[in-house]
Structure 1
């Protein structure tokens, strides 16, 4: 099985866990004289099986991520860490540019002549350019990660 397939299975298992949890909660109590919509004990047993399979899958994915190389980035785990930090950096730089530009609710209020003028404390154009560069790096890294996911075999 390829790593990409395992990641898809992990996402499906996580959705299944959430569905089962919702169904269990909906069947855990019922009114006297009525029947519960489903047997909560049977659902709990199914949940345990799905969670056991999910744990095994997560272990294999993590083991694979820690071993598989991604070009010059180190392992897939290293590439994922880089991606997470790039996302955080991009979000922070974009938010700073928006704030300096007066984006959001504050700039919608009309400024009167008697009010103090608001000035940008940061260079908005430079921040936007930097955010664009980060977005490009993020897209490139994401492609490399996805390619690796579909090329790498899942470890036992």
Structure 2
């Protein structure tokens, strides 16, 4: 809707805009009000629903988000330490300086695999709970 509003917000004299920008803007306001109400219901539901293993659905969502961030950091660290995506990491001559890894790449890859498994498990728990629980009504 934003693109439609921006595209019709100005038009050349003597021509008609593709859409009535004011009308689309008003409709966008209505849609955003509906979205806010839905988000409030989802948040209320997530904060009251208990999940397997303890905690709320909100806790599980926070856990999944942090696991994803942790996985991303560890994967990036392993990639950087292994030289992945970096040109010039192969020595042409023995006289060239060697590039050494400051981090244990194999351990990082193993930890990333463990995190990926944990992410899948938490995500499955969240998805299952979403299917089993009805959204709280206003």
Q: TM-score, normalised by structure 1?
A: 0.83
**Structure with more relative contact order (C-alpha pairs < 8 Å, separation 6 or more):** 1
CA contact (8 A) 1:73 1:79 kept: no
Aligned: 1:29 with 2:10 = yes
Match for residue 48 of structure 2?
A: 67
Is 1:124 aligned with 2:105? yes
- Cα contact 2:48–2:56 (8 A) shared by 1: yes
Counterpart of 1:150 in structure 2 is 131
Partners of 1:99 and 1:73 in 2: CA distance: 37
Q: Could you tell me whether the CA contact under 8 Å between 2:91 and 2:98 is conserved in 1?
A: no
Matched, 1:41 2:22: yes
CA contact (8 A) 2:78 2:108 kept: yes
- Structure 2: segments with no counterpart, 5+ residues: none
What secondary structure is seen at the aligned counterpart in 1 of 2:48? Answer: coil
Matched, 1:95 2:76: yes
| Count of aligned pairs between the two proteins | 137
- Per the TM alignment, residue 109 of structure 1 is displaced from its structure 2 partner at its CA by 5.5
Shift in alpha-carbon separation, 1:138–1:47, aligned structure 2, 3 A: same
| Offset at residue 108 of structure 1 (A) | 5.2
Partner residue in 2 for 1:137: 118
Structure having the larger proportion of residues in helix: 1
Compute the TM-score of the two structures, normalised by the length of structure 2: 0.94
